[in-house]
Every structure is written in C-alpha cells, then in structure tokens.
Amino acid sequence: MANTKSAIKNARKTATRTRRNQAVKTRLKTLAKVVSKAAAGTDAEAARAAAIAYSSALDRAVKSYVIHRNAASNHKSQFAKLIFAAKQ
C-alpha cells in the first residue's frame, strides 16, 4: 500500500491509465478479428475497409503510447499481407 501522498496519487493515476489502456487494447483485438474474418470472406472491399480502420486504431494507440510503434508496424504489415493475399 502507498505510504506518501504522491504514491497514493500515482496509484490512482496508474489505475486510471490501466483501465484506459485496456479499453484500447480490447478495441485493437476486436478490430484484428474483424480484419481476419473479412479477409477470409469474399468481399475484398470490406476487408480493405476493415484493414484501414485497424491501421488507424493502431496509429492512435501508438500516439498515446499504449503499444510500441514497432509492434504496430508489425501488425500493419502482417494484415496488409493477409489482405493482399485475400484480394488475389
């Protein structure tokens, strides 16, 4: 348990940030599933739109330091390959 005023405040801040970051990460996982499902389907335009939404969400997560920029880059690259393969 935190003993000082600053430690108590930092514990509150950490809890708030953890909840916010968890919501962002959950959203990213959901969008990744949507992209995978769309890529497995026959509608290439829906897969492309889902990939754009996922890429945008990754960029926003990077901007707020929820995930590392290289991790986001790797995810975007893998899903771009998936979408490209589905298109052909």
Q: What is the DSSP string of 2-39?
A: --SHHHHHHHHHHHHHHHHHHHHHHHHHHHHHHHHHHH
Lowest mean pLDDT among 43-52, 53-62, 79-88: 79-88
Task: Give the mean model confidence (pLDDT) for residues 2-24.
Answer: 94
Identify the pLDDT of residue 85.
83
Quote the pLDDT of residue 82: 87
User: Average pLDDT, stretch 46-71?
Assistant: 95
Residue 23 has pLDDT above 80, yes or no: yes
Name the residue among 82, 74, 77 with its Cα closest to residue 40.
Answer: 82
Query: Is the confidence at residue 64, as pLDDT, over 90?
Result: yes
Looking at every residue in the chain, the average pLDDT score rounds to 93
Boundaries of domain holding 40: 5-87
Torsion sign, CA atoms 25, 61, 51, 75: negative
Tokens of 77: 């690259």
Q: What is the pLDDT of residue 1?
A: 76
For residue 87, give the 3-state DSSP assignment: helix
Helix (H) or strand (E) holding 74: helix 69-87
Residue 35 main-chain phi, psi, to 5 deg:
-65, -45
Which CATH number does the domain housing residue 53 bear?
1.20.58.110
Look at the chain and report how many structural domains it folds into.
Answer: 1
